[in-house]
Chains A and B, each alone.
Chain A
Amino acid sequence: MRFARKSGGYQRIETQMAPMIDVVFLLLIFFMLTLKVVAAEGDFSINMPIGAPAPANDELQLPPIKVRLTAGENGELTGVFFNNRQLGNTDVAFERLNTEILTMIGRPGNPLTKDMEVEIDADFGLQYRYTVQAISACTGKVNAKGQPVKYIEKIKFAQPRKPE
C-alpha cells in the first residue's frame, strides 16, 4: 500500500505573535478591571439640621435614645451605655446594644422608627471605629440571609466633649 505524497512537501506555518500579544493584553486588562481592587464602601447618613431643634412631638412621647461611649487614654473603648445602662466594653456590648434597640422598636420596619432618633454621645478621644460600630448597631443588623434589616436610621451626634 502506498501513500500519496503531496507534491509541495511540508509547508512552514509562521506563527504570528502580534495578534496573540494583542489578545493577551486585552485579557489582562479585562481581568484587571474585574478584579476588586478596593472594598466597596457604604455610608451612614447623619442628619443635623441647622438651627431647628428636634420638633417636639406632643401627641407621641417617644423615649429618648442616648448611646454614650466612653474612652480610655489611648482612645480605646471603655464602656457602652444605653440610656445610662452599662452594656460592657467589648464587641459583645455592641451586640447587646443592637438587641436593646430591637427591643425598643418592637419589630424592624415599625413605622414608629421614622420618628425615633438615636443620639451618640462619645468621648472626644474615642477612636472613630467604635463610633461607626455603635452607629452600625443602632442602624440595623444583617440577617441570616445576608440582607440588611433596618432598625433606626436617624442618627445624630451630641455636642463634642472637649478635653479640659
Chain B
Amino acid sequence: MRFHKHDPYLADADMTPMIDVVFQLIAFFMVIINFEATQADERVKLPSSDLARPSKVKPDQELVLNVGYLRDAEGQPIDPDPYVFYAGDEKIRIPDMLAKLKLEAEFFQRKNNLGADDSIPTSVIIRADADVPTGMIQELIMLCREAKFEKFHLKAKAEEPGSS
C-alpha cells in the first residue's frame, strides 16, 4: 500500500496578533490593579498640602474611611451632614458609624489573633473632604478609638510644586 505524499503545508505562526493581544491584556490588568489599590472615593475633595507626600512604606493593613458630602451637579452639598462612604455604596452618618467600626475591629482582631480588648495595629486612613467640620473628624476618630483602633492617617492631596 502506498501513501500519497502530500505537500507539507507548514503553518507559519504569525506572532504579531498574539503579541498585540498579550500587550492589551497586560495594559488591561495594569489599569484594573491601579484602580483596586486606591479605594478612593471620587466624591471626596481632599484638602491640599505641599507637605503631603506619598508615603514610601504602605501599611500592610489599613481601613480606609472616605468622609464627604453628597453634592449636586454644581458641587453644592445636598445634605448639610457629611457621610462616610462605606464599602462603595453605603452612606452612613458619622454618629452611626460605631457599629460598623466595631465589626471591622472584630475582623482585624481575629485576623491578628488579638483579644477583644487589645488595641488594633491596623492604620485607619481618613480621607475627608476639605469642607467637613473638624469636629466631625474628631468624633470619627473618637469612635474609632472606642472600637480599639489607635493609629490614624489623615490624607491630603499633594500640591504640585509652584501651583499654590
Q: From the candidates A19, A33, A42, name the one contacting B155 in the complex (CB within 8 A).
A: A42
Residue of A nearest to B161 (CB): A146
Partner-binding segment picked from A5-13, A57-65, A103-111, A156-164: A156-164
- Tell me, yes or no, whether A131 is within 8 Å of chain B by CB: yes
With both chains docked as a complex, state the minimum distance between the C-beta of A133 and any C-beta of chain B, in angstroms. Answer: 7
Residue of B nearest to A149 (CB): B51
- Determine the chain B residues whose CB is within 8 A of the CB of A86 once the complex forms: none
Q: From the candidates B20, B52, B161, name the one contacting A44 in the complex (CB within 8 A).
A: B52
In the complex the two chains form, what is the Cα distance from A122 to B133 in whole Å?
Answer: 10
In the complex the two chains form, what is the Cα distance from A159 to B134 in whole Å?
Answer: 11
In the complex the two chains form, is B53's CB within 8 Å of A148's CB? yes
In the complex the two chains form, what is the Cα distance from A33 to B35 in whole Å?
Answer: 11
In the complex the two chains form, is A46's CB within 8 Å of B152's CB? yes
Residue of B nearest to A37 (CB): B34
In the complex the two chains form, what is the Cα distance from A34 to B95 in whole Å?
Answer: 40
In the complex the two chains form, is B135's CB within 8 Å of A41's CB? no
- Tell me, yes or no, whether A1 is within 8 Å of chain B by CB: no
In the complex the two chains form, is B154's CB within 8 Å of A132's CB? yes
Contact of A128 with B133 at beta-carbon distance under 8 Å, contacts A33-B27, A41-B157, A42-B51 already known: yes
Q: Which of A19, A39, A69, A132 has the most CB of B within 10 A?
A: A132
Chain A: number of interface residues, binned into ranges:
35 or more
- Tell me, yes or no, whether A78 is within 8 Å of chain B by CB: no
- Determine the chain A residues whose CB is within 8 A of the CB of B20 once the complex forms: 19, 22, 26
- Tell me, yes or no, whether A14 is within 8 Å of chain B by CB: no
Q: From the candidates B49, B54, B133, name the one contacting A75 in the complex (CB within 8 A).
A: B133
- Determine the chain B residues whose CB is within 8 A of the CB of A139 once the complex forms: 51
Q: Mark B44-62, 1 if CB is under 8 A from A, else 0.
A: 0011111111110000000
In the complex the two chains form, is A41's CB within 8 Å of B134's CB? no
Partner-binding segment picked from B2-10, B84-92, B136-144: B136-144
- Residues of A participating in the B interface, judged by any CB pair closer than 8 Å: 19, 22, 25-26, 29-30, 32-33, 38-50, 69, 75, 122-133, 135-136, 139-142, 146, 148, 157, 159-163
- Given known contacts A19-B20, A26-B24, what 9 new A-B pairs fall within 8 Å (CB)? A29-B24, A38-B40, A41-B40, A42-B49, A48-B141, A48-B152, A129-B47, A132-B154, A160-B138
A-B contact pairs, 15 of them (CB 8 A): A22-B17, A33-B27, A42-B52, A43-B52, A43-B154, A46-B152, A49-B119, A50-B119, A124-B135, A128-B130, A132-B154, A133-B49, A136-B156, A159-B138, A161-B135
